[in-house]
Amino acid sequence: MSKIRILFLLNFVLCRIFVFAQHPSVDPNWGVVIQDDFTTFNTILWEKVNNSVHGKNTGEEPQVYTSNNVYINNGNLVLRTIRQDHTCPLGNNCYYGGSHQYTSGEISSWAPYRYGYYEIYAKIPTGQGYWPAFWLWNQSPNSQTTDCWYNEIDIFEGKGCMSDSVTCNVHWNFNCPTECANKNFEKIPVINYSQQYHWYGVEWNENEIIWYIDRQKIRSIANDMEGIGIRNPMYIIINSALIPDSWGTCLVDDANIILPNYMYVDKINVFQLICDDNTVVNEIYDYDTFSYGIKKSITLSGTSSLSSGQNIFLKATDFIELQSGFEAPSGSQLSLQIMDCPNY
């Protein structure tokens, strides 16, 4: 069997190796933060948004989110949209004078999270007027302080009249007011998402925002908007909305809208990189039992050579050193990355 020598020089130090983002399903350096398969509704993690629109805020969507449209059925989170006259409670300032003809479902995490990989496995509704989404959001609207910002990452947004594509967006505003936040978006082709479940995911880190569909990387941008970037913890939101009148296209058509209609979410996963940056690794004797995570340094020699078929991901803050004798046989893969531990 032929072997490929990675390095021939003794004590050659890898100062920096660029590596494409690795999905947590194959990279053991990621640890589970949330893993919910919706066999029950976890009230510790999630809030059923009630009597609100657009991210627990105000907005002009035709629907109001009500808790009765959020439920568990056959191992799925179900977000239902129905025709239902509904008046928002006094003080919620819902659109259309407070009176709406439709209600739908939304959940939001009770806690905000910063940096990591976020994904859902979902089947989303199509049809005139629908606007399903999976997104991260937070804002500090206090214009009397210097801590005034709007952060939003749209992992996906669907438009019900265009079932062959979704968009993935970023919104930000680091100077109040928060209305009309800056936007960076892209339209992504997808095989008719109403007919199948798909994975929709994003990796958000200090340097980059990377979108995935079906766990394949489809877009990335630098996380450096206005020299600041998206930095603040954000809430996780999943919703099935209706398109606002102001959009002018794909609007709700009372005669043709499909009702009731449903968004199904089978799973949601949230991962964060494991930080173990005080640990110095000298040789890895068994990659299957090795405790992965971002180490301080890693030094490998022939004792730590790979076997054919092994796909190994190693990360360290200071250096990764491959000494003379280290080998990776044909059919194996080795991904190395020098990086800081994320500031969660």
pLDDT in tens, 267-310: 999 999 999 999 999 999 999 999 999 999 999 999 999 999 99
pLDDT category, 231, cuts 50, 70, 90? very high
SS (H, E, C) the chain: CCEEECCCCCCEEECCCCCCCCCCCCCCCEEEEEEECCCCCCCCCEEECCCEECCCECCCCCEEECHHHEEEECCEEEEEEEEEEEECCCCCCCCHHHEEEEEECEEEECCCECCEEEEEEEECCCCCCEEEEEEEEEEECCCCCCCCEEEEEEEEEEECCEEEEEEEEEEEECCCCCCCCEEEEEEEECCCCCCCCEEEEEEECCCEEEEEECCEEEEEEECCHHHCCCCCCEEEEEEEEECCHHHCCCCCCCCCCCCCEEEEEEEEEEEEECEEEEEEEECCCCCCCCCCCEEEEEEECHHHCCCCCCEEEEEEEEEEEECCCCEEECCCEEEEEECCCCCC
pLDDT tens digits for range 143-163: 555 678 889 999 999 988 887
Q: What is the pLDDT of residue 10?
A: 38
pLDDT band at 90 (very low <50, low <70, confident <90, very high): low
For residues 214 and 198, give the distance between their C-alpha atoms in angstroms, rounded to a whole number.
6
Query: Distances in Å between the alpha carbon of 283 and those of 273, 302, 303, 314?
Result: 21, 9, 7, 12
Percentage with pLDDT > 70 across the chain:
85
% of the chain residues with pLDDT over 90: 62
| pLDDT confidence tier of residue 142, bands split at 50, 70 and 90 | low
- Amino acid identity for residue 247 in this structure: W
* Residue type for position 133: A
- Average pLDDT of 245-260? 82
The confidence score (pLDDT) of residue 96 equals 56
- pLDDT tens digit sequence for 42-73: 999 999 999 887 644 445 688 889 999 999 99
- Domains (ranges, CATH) in the chain? 3-29+276-338 (no CATH), 30-273 (2.60.120.200)
Query: Which pLDDT score, from 0 to 100, does residue 9 have?
Result: 38
Task: Give residue 320's pLDDT.
Answer: 95
Give residue-wise pLDDT tens across range 163-195: 788 889 999 988 776 666 788 877 777 667 777
Q: pLDDT tens across 93-108, in order?
A: 565 556 788 999 999 9
pLDDT on residue 128: 87
Greatest extent of the chain over all pairs of C-alpha atoms, in Å: 75
